[in-house]
Structure 1
């Protein structure tokens, strides 16, 4: 049944850190990003191509119960072109012991055939063969259009490559990217004061903030984004700052589908028993590419207009339907959303699919039609850039982060000034000043953007109360 799409499934890599380093050594200076995991997404060729087509260079990694880790690399996209692929960078590999075996494609031979079936190398080695968890080795001439019939694309023995064990326990595909060049800008491309005084100033401004509308006591900020981008973590991080220690009130983590299955409105207090602060963070189910999974765009429209109650449980198969009494009257301005925040994982901006980009564009059109302020949060900046990982204060001198801000601006169609890089609390046990300054700066901007929304309403409606 389609509802099975919302089952929570882990998509963590099977590679140990040691094996990952061994494979990266074969590739040179590279980073691996997991795109496809057969035990989660299915062994079907269609599932493979849905996640892996047009992703650039990729590394396929297969596992069997004999302890072999093996597979192949190709620098050419999977595209179901129906063509033979020439790729002199392609190779097969096997790890069984401490030293990996690497088998490069023979010169003059085609590295693979690009069709709608499962991945193959040299039309010799087929993975997920016939949509099953097996590998198939076909011994034949694979040097297409080469008169030397003794020459084949890859020369290997099945016993050496995978222990002659054709049953797979797992099959994964990774996007291969060069590690970002760490280039330091001559001067910061944004100015930030990384001081305790600045944190205190931001904190006081937020605590004492009052909306421009007397009818609205708290700004309602809606967070929208793909599964695992860090929406719930952002609330936890803001809540941590005002609580005085790291908290985890909203469920967050790494999963194949959204951990948030309800619409939640999270108020934040000034201290554990302090007064409520003048904003509410609204968390939603994560966006997913496929239909019938993740947050429905019609649900977002209902949330924006203030019809969806706190703790409403999303149903990806059926959008929210307000009861007749509520449907007959418009929600008050207090109940509506005043600022929309798109939460995007910096490490996955380049992996954003066309389907997801189209979903986000549809949402933006709806938000624009309602005149609601919009901001983009770029999370996990420390994971994206080694310079920032070493020192968060390097954020605005990192040319790589600057390029990612420009990329997400272009992909989502928002001004660069509306894209704010942040680092949520994830594994830390104590608060950290630099983290707090970034998070509070982002929150301050949300309140300022909400003011623009209220100001626009006042100018149109003559300062309603």
Structure 2
């Protein structure tokens, strides 16, 4: 039997893959072939892992949604941090993040998002939505932009999303790094003996900013582990729904110390370097809302001339060759592409984006992991010295 043809053009498929990163799409279900019955959809799409639904209507809109959680007809409300809606009609693709804790209802009906937006409803080729869906999305829901308010479908497809393992390597590493025990000891000595460029400053102050689960606390734990000589967990870390980093709470207004508020902050009390922490596995899924927040922060930091850099965490989870051997990190063209993507989306130079791997499930230290972590600290200290140097020349 000949394989079922996809309605997506090559360019449309590329646009969708740009949302999802390094993936391959395999067609599981096509409504014009298998029918618009919910039972037919579930027969072909249940327990297939991450899936991408693509719907088409008479106005030429191509829209749908992604979920990283299996369809299973469990009857449960699904939590999915990666779920989103999209529309790729026109030059500028639209992406709408779905509320993490109400991503969809895993029922026996047709595929749905935010529990109120159904793609084909009651076995009919129509999109159904309830206005209450607005409260279940992380940004305003505009049906006109999503599908032109044309609720009649001409086709509906569901694709299995597979992470591709075809990651190429450069003949020459795009960054040079020494992976030796001697280099690790050199870096540790440099960091232990570091003295800020300004005599009036006893220690460097670094502010780390990033979404929940990106790896801020894990980075702190990892650095502490390197200098302790064994894996530690001094700062709480994990994947809870709220941040476990208590030093900086993005939901609470900043309350300055009353004594300090009456006078200008000293150089010792100021921030000397800002570090954004970004999960490499979620760069392509970064919401417009998060990107705008980071852009706003970056603009304010730029206004006070504080150096900025990015830590790109979980690199081993995004590239299988790096997972096998961290030494491949600067030979991987895929990691380089991710560094360039972070650079473009956050507006920082490529040279200011450093991929790292935090300690998470390991019981013992690893040389190459230590060297990446220590290199990151060295860069932060260098950036802080750049800040002091600029002040000294004013």
TM bucket, shorter chain: 0.5 to 0.7
Which deviations, in whole Å up to 9, do the C-alpha atoms of 1:38-71 show, x marking residues without a partner? xxxxxxxxxxxxxxx978655774444589x9xx
1:430 alignment counterpart: 364
Which deviations, in whole Å up to 9, do the C-alpha atoms of 1:268-305 show, x marking residues without a partner? xxxxxxxxxxxxxxxx34xxxxxxxxx1xxxxxxxxxx
1:120 alignment counterpart: 119
Structure 2 residue 390 is matched with structure 1 residue 405: no
1:382 alignment counterpart: 316
Give the 3 Å change call, closer, same or farther, for CA 323–77 of structure 1 in structure 2.
closer
1:446 alignment counterpart: 380
1:321 alignment counterpart: 255
**Does structure 2 retain, via aligned residues, the 8 Å contact 1:112–1:123?**
no
2:283 alignment counterpart: 349
TM norm structure 2: 0.66
**Does structure 2 retain, via aligned residues, the 8 Å contact 1:212–1:455?**
yes
Which deviations, in whole Å up to 9, do the C-alpha atoms of 1:70-103 show, x marking residues without a partner? xxxxxx954499xxxxxxxxxxxxx9xxxxxxxx
1:421 Cα offset (Å): 0.2
Give the 3 Å change call, closer, same or farther, for CA 232–58 of structure 1 in structure 2.
closer
- Matched pairs, number: 300
Give the 3 Å change call, closer, same or farther, for CA 181–119 of structure 1 in structure 2.
farther
1:203 alignment counterpart: 188
1:321 Cα offset (Å): 3.0
1:221 Cα offset (Å): 1.0
**Secondary structure at the counterpart of residue 455 of structure 1:** helix
Give the 3 Å change call, closer, same or farther, for CA 32–213 of structure 1 in structure 2.
farther
Give the 3 Å change call, closer, same or farther, for CA 342–112 of structure 1 in structure 2.
closer
**Does structure 2 retain, via aligned residues, the 8 Å contact 1:338–1:453?**
yes
**Does structure 1 retain, via aligned residues, the 8 Å contact 2:224–2:232?**
yes
Q: What is the rounded CA distance, in whole Å, between the counterparts of 1:182 and 1:153 in structure 2?
A: 31
**Does structure 1 retain, via aligned residues, the 8 Å contact 2:27–2:160?**
no
**Does structure 2 retain, via aligned residues, the 8 Å contact 1:80–1:115?**
no
Which deviations, in whole Å up to 9, do the C-alpha atoms of 1:9-46 show, x marking residues without a partner? xxxxxxxxxxxxxx98959xxx96699xxxxxxxxxxx
Q: What is the rounded CA distance, in whole Å, between the counterparts of 2:128 and 2:237 in structure 1?
A: 33
1:129 Cα offset (Å): 8.1
Q: What is the rounded CA distance, in whole Å, between the counterparts of 2:334 and 2:301 in structure 1?
A: 30
Q: Which has the larger radius of gyration?
A: 1
**What are the residue-to-residue correspondences of 1:63-102 with 2, within 5 Å?**
63-64=72-73, 78-79=86-87
2:271 alignment counterpart: 337
1:373 Cα offset (Å): 1.1
Structure 1: which 5+ residue stretches go unaligned?
Answer: 1-22, 36-52, 70-75, 82-94, 96-110, 133-142, 147-151, 155-172, 264-283, 286-294, 296-315, 461-465
2:350 alignment counterpart: 416
Give the 3 Å change call, closer, same or farther, for CA 379–343 of structure 1 in structure 2.
same
Structure 2 residue 186 is matched with structure 1 residue 185: no
1:359 alignment counterpart: 293
1:320 Cα offset (Å): 2.2
CA RMSD of aligned residues (A): 4.1
Structure 2: which 5+ residue stretches go unaligned?
Answer: 1-24, 30-47, 53-61, 79-83, 90-105, 134-150
